[in-house]
Structures are given as C-alpha cells and as structure tokens.
Amino acid sequence: MSQSKKILFIIPDGVSLRNFVYTSFYKQAQAMNMDIVFLNLTPLPLSELGLREVMPKVVKQHPLTDSFKNAKKRVELNQFIRRDQDTVYHKYWFPLRASGIKSLVKYALTQVLIGLYNSEHGILSLRKRIRQLESQTAYYTECLNIIKQEAPDVVYSASQRAILSIAPIEAAKALEIPTVGFVFSWDNLPKSMLDVETDYYHVWSSHMKTELLKYYPFVKAKQIKVTGTPQFEPHYDADLIVSKSVFYRQYHLDSETTYFCFSGDDVTTSPQDPMYLRDVANAIKNLNSQGHKLGIIFRRCPVDFSDRFDAVLQAFKDFIVPIAPLWEALGTGWNAKLPTPEDAILLSNLAEHTAGVINLGSSMVFDYVAHHKPCAYMHYHYNEKMEVITGVHVYDYVHFRSMPTKQSVFWLNHPNGIQEDLLRMLNNEAIEIRHAEDWFSKINEQPGNEASQRILNDLQIKK
C-alpha cells in the first residue's frame, strides 16, 4: 500500500460542499487511508457532520483585490477576443457599476487598471499583483500558521474561482507544499474564471484540458490531470434511489400522473422563466384535455427566492407541484445559501422518477442523461411587443459549442410546438438520449461514478 497522504481541502462555497463533502469522496479517502482536513470557509460547521475541519478566525480579502480581479477579467476577455477574432467573449463582460463612494473608487481604479494593463503581458502583471495583495493580509498570515500546524502533503482548492482560496494557496506555495486546483464548472474557463493559480489542476475532461491550455497559456499540459467531477456521482448510487411509489407518496404526487421537471434558472440568466413555465403548463393542459395524464414538478433555482413564479404556480396548481431545492440559508449573502446532503438525493430521485427535464441551457441535461432521460431546452424569447422570437442568446456561449452536431436535446422553438415535443420525450425517442450521452462523455470523463477515485489516486502520487 502506498504511503498515506494528508490533504488540506479548501472549501470556500456551496458548490465545493456538494462536490467534496456531500458525495462519497470523503469515505473513499478514508478507505484509502488518506487523512482529509477541510479548511472550511463556509458558515456550515463541518464538525457537526463528523468531519475534521479548521476554520480561520479572520477570512477577509485585501480591499484592492476586487478592482484588480475585475480588471484582470476584462483584460483577459479582451485578449480572448483578439486571439480568436471572436466577439462572443463580449457576452462575458461584467457590468462595471458605480453607486456610492466606495464602489465609485473601486470602479475608477478598475478602469485605470484596464487601461494600463490591456495586453497579454498585462494579464500576467495583474495576476501577479492579485497574488501579492492576498499575501499581505492577516488572513494569509493565519492560513500560513494553520498550514504549518497541519503540515499537509498537498493543499487542494475545491474551486478555481474562489478569491478566498488564493491566500491559503499562496501560503502553501511559500511553504513549498504542492497545490492543486479543481475547475468546478463546465462553462468557467472561457469566462475568465481561473482566479486561483495552483501547481496542478484537476479538470472534468480532455475537452476541458484543451480549454485550459488554450485560454491560460501559462498553464502547461503536465500540470493538468483529467479526473471528471464528483458532482454527478450521486446519480450512480443505487442506495440513494427510492421506489417511484415512495417518491410519489413523499411529495404527495398523483400516482397516475407522469411528471416532467421544469428546472428554473436565476433571474439574470433567464428573466423570462415564468413565461416559459406558463407555456409548458399550457401545453400540458391541452394534452391532458386530450386524455393524457401529465404534470410538472417545478424545481426553482436554489438561489432564486423571488415571487416571480407565484402567479403561474397558482394558475396551474392542479398539475404543477413545486418541490424546492433542499438548501439552507445560513446568512444574508447569496454565498450563504448552501446545499444540504439531502438535495443530492432529491435531485437523483427527481431525475429517476420524472419523464425528462425542461430548462434554459442548464447543466441539468447531464443530471438527466445519467438516468437516460431527455432534456428539452427553451429556444425562444419574447420581445418587448410580446412576440415570439426563435433563439436565446445564452446558446451563443462557448460551452454550448461542445454539443454534438447531431441533436442531443429537444429544442423548444415556439410555444405552439411544445405539445409535440413533450410527446416525443414521452415516447422515448432515443436519438437525442444517445447524442446527449455522447455530449456527456465529452464534457465529463467516464465512467461518471469514478471521479472521486481518480482525484484521490492522483493526490496519492503528488509530491
């Protein structure tokens, strides 16, 4: 047996909890005799889950870091546009707003930095300055002391975009301890969201490895390991799946009804979601009048607590059943809304016991294809005159270019065609499923249930 390793895992947010705390990752690490300690930057006490954790008393970034990070993002996207001669990267520009003295100063500094560093060399200078700023904080000093005390063999950042991970990563580098960063989302790399620079990187797929090398040329191929993501592993755990009758009974569903899942997006990504839900509900209402027995389970975006769906839910309450994500609010900020272990179980059972998922460009397509279920993407929008216009701008984003040329989702191009597409989904037309599985294989290393094992195997050999 190889020598046991001690890994200090930086957990900065809810996504990191979902991937590395709520999956079987920790148990698999224990089975390999690996010592996992979590540097917990979330408000959730992991010790209550029986896990070893250290929690810094001071968790605060440098006051100038945001300005440098925002400038770095804009400059990096500018260089992506120049390199590829592709204006799609304009869509990733964040709005630079100024309201109040503090934000006005931050805005002004960001604009100055963009002007000074708008070049390939400027990107490296901005990145270096961010590392320097984060290494000057009291938080960095505390991280340095924690890492000295814990003496891990490797320090692992569970998110490549969490600014609060920079200080502990830089502290580990100062102590000559290897660092690894996990790229946690399939769409982050083209958006200039590699903010945490580590010695090594774990990515979902060979496709993501190619993206990392393309967009961030300071990263070399030998630093990257294709592992897959633990995000989808719960879908392969048969012990998490309850029977259909138990699931229906638990959520008071009609035993004779076949349900689709409508998965909501956040209000910024999909402001017209309530209209989409209404259109799907009208299609189902018409199908039910023809003798079908269909319904909708509505799963809102976990961080959308608005009342924008209320009118639709009320109008179609006979067959729309809201089942809220099992997240907890442990504070007032958006990053204090954290998933629970039970939500992964709920999502797995939703995918198992519904006929398919409907949404606007969500990665839920992969959750459902893990259960061999179809996905339908909304592919129209309403203009100011409430006219239906085919197409939605989100599908211009770079990560959708990874889709197979053959159709892998059902495209809902107009409200009048939704009935027909729902029937095609019900009839198990396998062509989209097969191509969706090909897409999933491109996006996430297969088998999809072995990501944790691949990550742990690589950590065992890191020096």
Mean pLDDT for the stretch of residues 442-458: 97
Buried b / exposed e across 324-354, counting CB within 10 Å, b at 16+?
A: ebebeeeeeeebebbbbeebbbbbbbbbbbb
Query: Is 90 exceeded by the pLDDT of residue 201?
Result: yes
- Looking at residue 203, its pLDDT comes to 98
Residue 258's DSSP bridge partners are 294
* pLDDT tier at 334, thresholds 50, 70, 90: low
Closest to 298 (Cα-Cα) out of 186, 432, 314: 314
Supply the angle between the helices 430-443 and 206-215 in degrees, to the nearest 10. Answer: 50
Whether 132 maps to a domain, the answer reads no
Query: Is 70 exceeded by the pLDDT of residue 429?
Result: no
Co-location of 97 and 56 in the same domain? no
Co-location of 256 and 342 in the same domain? yes
More confident residue, 334 or 89: 89
- The residue segments making up the domain with residue 77 are 65-121
Co-location of 34 and 90 in the same domain? no
Co-location of 154 and 295 in the same domain? no
- Looking at residue 1, its pLDDT comes to 44
Euclidean distance between CA atoms 343 and 19, whole angstroms? 12
Co-location of 80 and 165 in the same domain? no
Whether 129 maps to a domain, the answer reads no
Mean pLDDT for the stretch of residues 208-220: 98
Ranked by mean pLDDT, the top range of 28-42, 333-347, 416-430 is 28-42
Domain final residue pick, 121, 151, 166 = 121
Mean pLDDT for the stretch of residues 14-22: 95
Q: What's 25's DSSP letter?
A: H
Q: Considering all CA atoms of the chain, what is the largest pairwise distance in Å, rounded to the nearest integer?
A: 70
Whether 127 maps to a domain, the answer reads no
Co-location of 296 and 354 in the same domain? yes
Co-location of 183 and 264 in the same domain? no
Whether 433 maps to a domain, the answer reads yes
Whether 395 maps to a domain, the answer reads yes
Co-location of 149 and 176 in the same domain? yes
More confident residue, 427 or 113: 113
Mean pLDDT for the stretch of residues 169-177: 98
Percentage of the chain beyond pLDDT 90 is 89
In degrees, rounded to 5, the angle at the alpha carbon of residue 55 between the alpha carbons of residues 54 and 58 is 140
Co-location of 455 and 366 in the same domain? no
- Looking at residue 27, its pLDDT comes to 94
Quote the number of domains for the chain. 3
Say if CB 343 and CB 15 are below 8 A apart.
Answer: no
Percentage of the chain beyond pLDDT 70 is 97
Query: Is 90 exceeded by the pLDDT of residue 430?
Result: no
Co-location of 352 and 428 in the same domain? yes
pLDDT in tens, 286-313: 999 999 999 999 999 988 889 999 999 9
Cα separation values, 382 from 217, 270, 413, 414, 457, Å: 40, 12, 12, 10, 49
Average pLDDT across the chain, whole number: 94
pLDDT in tens, 72-113: 999 999 999 999 999 999 999 877 766 778 888 888 999 999
- Looking at residue 148, its pLDDT comes to 98
Whether 130 maps to a domain, the answer reads no
Cα separation values, 460 from 34, 111, 184, 251, Å: 8, 44, 20, 43
- Looking at residue 332, its pLDDT comes to 63
- Looking at residue 98, its pLDDT comes to 64
Strands in 290-333 per DSSP E = 294-299, 320-322, 327-329
More confident residue, 35 or 305: 35
Co-location of 271 and 307 in the same domain? yes
Euclidean distance between CA atoms 124 and 141, whole angstroms? 24
Whether 47 maps to a domain, the answer reads yes
Whether 381 maps to a domain, the answer reads yes
What's the CATH code of the domain at 430? 3.40.50.2000
Co-location of 200 and 265 in the same domain? no
